[in-house]
Chains A and B, each alone.
Chain A
Amino acid sequence: MIRLPAPKPEVMARRPQILAGLAALVPADALITEELRLRPYETDGLAAYRQMPLAVVLPRTTEEVAAVLRFCHQQGVRVIPRGAGTSLSGGALPLADAVVVGLMRMNHILDINFEDRYAVVEAGVTNIGITQAVAGDGFFYAPDPSSQLACMIGGNVMMNSGGAHCLKYGVTANNLLGVKFVTIEGEIFEVGGTHLDGAGYDWLGLITGSEGQLGMVTEVTVRILRGPEGARAMLAAFSSIPIAGQAVDAIIGSGIIPVALEFMDRPCIHACEAFAHAGYPLDAEAMLIIEVEGSVAEQDALLARIRDICAQFSPISMKVAESAEQSLAIWKGRKGAFGAVGRISPDYLCMDGTIPTGELPFVLGRITQMSEQYGLGVANVFHAGDGNLHPLIMFDANDPASFAKAEAFGADILKLCVEVGGCLTGEHGVGVEKRDLMTVQFTADELDLQRAIKSAFDPAWLLNPAKVFPLEGNKVLDAA
Chain B
Amino acid sequence: MIAPETEQGVAEAIRAAHDARQPLAIEGAGSKRGMLRPVRAAETLTTRALTGITLYKPAELVISARAGTPIAEIEAALAEKGQQIISEPPSPLGVGGATLGGIAATNLSGPRRIAWGSMRDHMLGIRAVKGDGEVFRSGGRVLKNVTGLDLCKLLSGSHGTLGVLTEITFKVLPAAEATGTLAVSVPDVAAGVRALSAGLGSPFGVSGAALLPGGLASLGLAGPVALLRIEDFAESVTYRKGRLREVLAPYGDVSLVEGAAARSLWRGVRDVTFLDAAPDEAVWRLSVAPSAAAAVCAALPGAKLMLDWGGGLIWVAGEASEAMHAAVVAATGPGSFTLFRAPDALRGAVAVMPAEPAPLAAISARVKALLDPAGILNPGRMGR
Contact = CB atoms under 8 A, between A and B. Distances in A.
A83 interface: no
A213 B118 contact: no
A36 to B, nearest CB: 35
Interface string A164-184: 001100110110000001010
A45 to B, nearest CB: 15
A206 B150 contact: yes
B364 interface: yes
> Which one of A213, A301, A356 has the greatest number of beta carbons of chain B within 10 Å?
A356
B382 interface: yes
A385 B197 CA distance: 31
A210 B121 CA distance: 16
Interface in B49-84: 57-62, 82
Interface stretch (A26-34, A292-300, A316-324, A333-341): A292-300
B107 interface: yes
Contact of A195 (B147, B312, B370): B312
Contact of B59 (A139, A187, A357): A357
B384 to A, nearest CB: 11
A290 B149 CA distance: 32
A132 to B, nearest CB: 18
Given A226-B202, A356-B60, A427-B144, A196 B150 contact: no
B194 interface: yes
Contacts of B202: 226
Contacts of A200: 157, 336, 353-354, 356, 382
A229 B203 contact: yes
A190 B360 CA distance: 9
B171 to A, nearest CB: 9
Interface in A100-133: 113-118
Most buried by A among B118, B138, B142: B142
Nearest to A449: B136
B150 A187 contact: no
B15 interface: no
Contacts, number: 250
B109 A426 contact: no
A362 interface: no
Interface string B167-197: 0000001111100000000000000001001
Interface string B284-325: 000111110000000000000000011011000000000000
A226 B203 contact: yes
Interface in A307-363: 354-358
Given A196-B313, A198-B336, A114 B201 contact: yes
Interface stretch (B95-103, B215-223, B233-241, B261-269): B233-241
Contact of B156 (A194, A205, A434): A205
B31 to A, nearest CB: 18
A208 interface: yes
B140 A206 contact: no
Contact of B146 (A114, A302, A425): A425
B335 A195 contact: yes
A297 B239 contact: yes
A213 B174 CA distance: 37
Contacts of B134: 445
Interface residues of A, number: 95
B279 interface: no
Contacts of B137: 442, 446
B117 interface: yes
Contact of A425 (B62, B113, B147, B152): B147
B287 A298 contact: no
A268 to B, nearest CB: 19
A375 to B, nearest CB: 29
B60 A358 contact: yes
Contact of A429 (B62, B130, B146): B146
A387 B143 contact: yes
Interface in B101-139: 107, 109, 113-114, 117-118, 120-121, 130, 134, 136-138
Contacts of B152: 205
A247 B152 CA distance: 32
B146 A427 contact: yes
A24 B380 CA distance: 46
Contacts of A226: 200-203
Given A197-B118, A421-B142, A441 B337 contact: no
Interface stretch (A15-23, A56-64, A232-240, A249-257): A249-257
Contacts of A118: 289
Contacts of A187: 359
B270 to A, nearest CB: 15
Given A226-B200, A257-B173, A356 B149 contact: no
Nearest to B197: A115
Interface string A151-173: 00000000110100011001101
A138 interface: yes
Nearest to A298: B236
Interface string A416-453: 00000111111111100010001001100111011011
A354 B142 contact: yes
A430 B336 CA distance: 33
Contacts of B21: none
A47 interface: no
B150 A208 contact: yes
Interface in A190-247: 190-191, 193-206, 208-210, 213, 226-229
B162 interface: yes
A226 B354 CA distance: 31
B146 A159 contact: yes
A196 B309 contact: yes
A438 B354 contact: no
B303 to A, nearest CB: 19
A388 interface: yes
Nearest to B365: A456
Contact of A358 (B57, B157, B289, B291): B57
B339 to A, nearest CB: 9
B363 A457 contact: yes
A160 B371 CA distance: 24
A409 B322 CA distance: 64
B117 A170 contact: yes
A146 B174 CA distance: 28
A228 to B, nearest CB: 5
A383 B142 CA distance: 12
Contacts of A422: 140, 142
Contact of B235 (A183, A199, A301): A301
> What are the 8 tightest A-B residue pairs by CB atom distance, in nearest-first order?
A205-B153, A198-B336, A187-B359, A199-B353, A426-B144, A255-B174, A386-B143, A456-B366
23 contacts: A117-B201, A190-B357, A196-B113, A197-B118, A197-B336, A199-B336, A200-B336, A200-B353, A201-B157, A201-B364, A203-B360, A208-B153, A210-B150, A257-B173, A297-B235, A354-B145, A357-B59, A387-B144, A424-B147, A441-B147, A452-B370, A453-B151, A456-B366
Given A173-B150, A228-B203, 5 more contacts: A199-B338, A199-B353, A226-B203, A430-B147, A453-B149
